Amino acid sequence: MVVELKLRKVGNSVGLVMPKEALARLNVAEGDAVYLTETTDGGFRVTANNPGFGEKMQVAERLSRRYRHALKELAQ
């Protein structure tokens, strides 16, 4: 799927106008956040999920397992 996107002036900024088909495929609506990440080939990828979130959750899970006894005591 190749979609041509339009850049439009919005106040002092520039906005990217996406067609409703692209919004539906990303499962996003007006006001939702999308993330632009650089690809290894020099391009960009637009996604609806935060690319760093999974990494942060893995770190949090490791820490919660490592300090489970201390966290259990603090929760009481």
Q: Quote the domain boundaries for residue 26.
A: 6-75
Question: pTM of the entire structure?
Answer: 0.56
Kindly report, residue by residue over 29-69, the tens digit of the pLDDT. 998 889 888 888 999 888 887 777 777 778 888 888 898 89
What CATH number does residue 16 fall under? 2.10.260
Domain total of the chain: 1
* Tokens standing for residue 12: 């002092």
What was the pLDDT predicted at 8?
94
Contact 32, 48 (CB under 8 A): yes
In a domain, 1, yes or no: no
